[in-house]
Structure 1
Amino acid sequence: MEAFKFLGLHDQVYISCSVLMCEAGSSGTRCSQGCINSPLTGHHTHRKREAITQSARHFISQGPLRLKRSVESTRSPGTPMNLNLVFIVGCLLAAVGMITAVALYKVKASKIKYQPLASFEN
């Protein structure tokens, strides 16, 4: 029986049950019989009327019970990184790459010295 499987789906839940209360030490009441299975639907059973020392059924509800999640449990292990962070890091790497390319181009261009060609006269 998976009684509390719903906790993972909702942030808050209510727990409720129906109870039968009897006076302590009273014999011959429904409480003195202990737990019994409820009759199947469609079948009628006849029982003696229950003693006066027994009260009626009571419905008890408690809640809301709130599920507090930690930050680590809300992120699954395979959760992708924040897209903004990935975008910013990508832009920074592209900028560094472009600056490096321009610097290398300028260094190579400065090493080239132009010299006049010798003239050939015929």
Structure 2
Amino acid sequence: MQQILWAEIIIKGIAGLGLLIVPLAALAIAGLARPVTGLWPRLVGALSLAIAASIWIGQEYPASRGSVGPAALVPINLLSAAVLIAALVMGTAAPTRRGKVLVAASAILLIVLAFLEIAHA
């Protein structure tokens, strides 16, 4: 279970830092649509980084209260994957093929992580 949580920390931390520091450039590199301002990508980056930090606190300090654990990560990952899949189905996921592939791969990764967390909880 520890490896799954560390994978969550790394994935959410890297994605969160990228979106927080250079939101518009990160979206352009990923092939996703660029918004007019970087507010919403930065907000998503901050939330992803906060989730990663909370998981890390739970890993480093097991007696701590209020950290995000596997039971909370399952609905976070499943709902995030559902939103990505809905965007793919509706055709609004990304304007480029690279972006659509990235969105699909992200949805698959989130579903796999959720099922692994369910299996090991």
Structure that is richer in strand per residue: 1
The two structures have a TM-score, normalised by structure 2, of 0.22
Structure that is richer in helix per residue: 2
Larger Rg: 1
